[in-house]
C-alpha cells in the first residue's frame, strides 16, 4: 500500500513582544559596535522623548508642545546648522573635484601633445583604478 505525501501546514507566527525586544536589542548592539555614536545619541533622545510624552497628561503635553513650537529658535538653529553643514560640504566637494579635474586635464594634455609630437612617454601617475595594466602575469 502506497501512502501519499502528507502536506505540512506552514504556520506563520506573529511577532510578539519578546521578538520585538530581541530585534531592538540586536539593532542597538550593532549600532554601538559599528561606532556610530551619533545614531546612539539620536536613539537615546528618541527614547527619552517617548518616555516623557507617555508620562505627561494630554493637557500638559499640549501646553508644553505649543510653548516649544512658538519659539523662533526652535526652527532657526536646526535649519541654520543644516545650511552651514551643506555649505561646508559643497565647498569641500568643489575643492576635491577641482583638484581631480586638474589632474585629468594634465593627463589629457600629456596624451594629446605626445601623439602630435611623436614622442610618447609613460604617464607620471595613473591613479584611477590602482591596477597596473602592464602586468599580464595575473591575467587568466
What angle in degrees, to the nearest 10, is found between the helix axes of 37-55 and 17-33?
140
How far is the C-alpha of 110 from the C-alpha of 114, rounded, in Å?
6
Q: Is the pLDDT of residue 132 over 60?
A: no
Concatenating the DSSP letter of every residue in 73-124 gives HHHHHHHHHHHHHHHHHHHHHHHHHHHHHHHHHHHHHHHHHHHHHS-----S
pTM: 0.36
Question: What are the structural domain ranges in the chain?
Answer: 16-70, 72-121
pLDDT tens per residue, range 26-46 = 988 888 888 777 888 888 888
pLDDT at 123: 59
Asked if the model's pLDDT at residue 55 lies above 80, the reply is yes
Cell for 54? 507617555
Structure-block grid coordinates of residue 43: 536613539
Amino acid at each position: 500500500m502506497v501512502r501519499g505525501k502528507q502536506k505540512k501546514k506552514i504556520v506563520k507566527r506573529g511577532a510578539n513582544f519578546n521578538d520585538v525586544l530581541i530585534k531592538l536589542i540586536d539593532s542597538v548592539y550593532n549600532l554601538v559596535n559599528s561606532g556610530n555614536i551619533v545614531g546612539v545619541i539620536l536613539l537615546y533622545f528618541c527614547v527619552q522623548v517617548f518616555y516623557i510624552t507617555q508620562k505627561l497628561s494630554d493637557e500638559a503635553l499640549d501646553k508644553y508642545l505649543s510653548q516649544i513650537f512658538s519659539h523662533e529658535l526652535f526652527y532657526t538653529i536646526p535649519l541654520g546648522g543644516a545650511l552651514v553643514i551643506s555649505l561646508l560640504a559643497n565647498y569641500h566637494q568643489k575643492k576635491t573635484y577641482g583638484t581631480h579635474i586638474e589632474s585629468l586635464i594634465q593627463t589629457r594634455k600629456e596624451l594629446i601633445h605626445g601623439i602630435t609630437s611623436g614622442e610618447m612617454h609613460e604617464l607620471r601617475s595613473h591613479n584611477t583604478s590602482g591596477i597596473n595594466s602592464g602586468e599580464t602575469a595575473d591575467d587568466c
